[in-house]
Amino acid sequence: MTNSPQEIDAINSLKAVLKSICEIDAESLVRKNSLGDLNFEEAKPFLERNIDLFKGLLLCDLSLLPVAVANELNSISNVFLGELHQIKAFSLQDPNALSLNQQYTQRSKDSYQDYFLIITKYLPYLKNKNNNIDSLKNELQQTINETKIIAENETKLLKQNIETAQRETDEILRAIKNVAGKAGVSQHSTLFADESTAHGRVAENWLKATIIIALITIIFAAYSVYFYTNTSLNLNATQNTQLAIVKIIGFALLFYILKWTAKNYAAHRHNQVTNKHRQNALSTFEAFVKASEDVGTKDAVLLRSTETIFSAGQTGYLIEDKESAPNTQVLEIFRNIPKVAGV
């Protein structure tokens, strides 16, 4: 609620007078010791009631008062404050001390009714508004407290749900990683198995070709011997030389083809055995890892499996196969992966 400037001035003036009244203690006005028989002990109960009446007015929300009412209350408050100042200023040195004492005492008794009739016209309304405001404040505070409690409970429940969801998510991620790891090992193992099968089929074809070329070479050699021993040709030296050159070229070509087919057979057989070995390594990798709880052992199995996959290996099918140390370059790369990843 917004008051007009006139209302604000009137209400502020009323509050100032009421505060001055409330600062005065009725006991301090009695002064038995200093005034003797002319003290105001008889007026004390009425003074206290009047002061309490104006105190009750000060405790209300005076901003609800219109200008006219504020001025009316301000007027009687100033009158009562003047009466209190007169009693406070009373002195035995005054020539009319006795009559003034009687006058002030009687006025304290009579003024209570006048003040009561004026103030109580407005006091119930003002107090009721105060009570309503206090009630609303209490209800609002209670609502705030209840809302705060509900919010805290909801926050705790939400936090618990988040933690539960996080745990479930972590478990799902671990399960996915586990399944992905198993799927990866199985998939790679299948790849090597397919490669081994393909190279085995091709190696069989090259073996058949090698056997056929070897048989052709043997037949050609046997036919040459048979031809020379059972056929009498009258050939001169030049003709014999030319025939010998043709045979040498034929034998050389057959031997070259035989060597080439045998080499291809050995190469594909080598690849077949190597990929089969890689398949077996990946198929048994998980079993060896699970069989040991030692991290060092697991790392050793991992490094050995890695070496098996990425190194050429020796099978005996290739002439250039030699016993060599493990491929340290490959192992070094995998040892440095955690460092590069910041683990």
Separation in Å, CA 9 to CA 1, 6, 175, 276: 16, 5, 78, 104
Q: If pLDDT is split at 50, 70 and 90, which confidence band does 211 have?
A: very high
* pLDDT higher than 60, residue 129: no
Domain assignments of the chain as residue spans, ordered by start: 5-153, 185-341
Specify the higher pLDDT residue, 135 or 251: 251
Q: If pLDDT is split at 50, 70 and 90, which confidence band does 133 have?
A: very low
Using one digit for the tens of pLDDT, what is the confidence trace for 50-82? Answer: 888 888 877 777 777 788 888 888 888 888 888
322-336 mean pLDDT:
50
Check residue 212 and give its pLDDT: 92
Specify the higher pLDDT residue, 178 or 334: 178
Check residue 340 and give its pLDDT: 45
Check residue 132 and give its pLDDT: 46
Separation in Å, CA 133 to CA 37, 59, 305, 326: 48, 13, 82, 89
150-155 mean pLDDT:
81
304-321 mean pLDDT:
68
Model-level pTM greater than 0.75?
A: no
What is the SS3 assignment for 314? Answer: coil
* pLDDT higher than 60, residue 152: yes
Question: Mean pLDDT lowest for which of 90-94, 210-214, 275-279, 281-285?
Answer: 281-285
Cα(82)–Cα(88) distance, integer angstroms: 10
248-256 mean pLDDT:
87
Compute the Cα dihedral for 53, 58, 64, 68 and give only its sign.
positive
Using one digit for the tens of pLDDT, what is the confidence trace for 183-206? Answer: 555 566 777 788 888 888 888 899
Check residue 341 and give its pLDDT: 47
Specify the higher pLDDT residue, 14 or 174: 14
Q: What percent of the chain has pLDDT over 70?
A: 72
Residue 21 · residue 54 · CB < 8 Å? yes
The whole-chain average pLDDT of the chain stands at 76
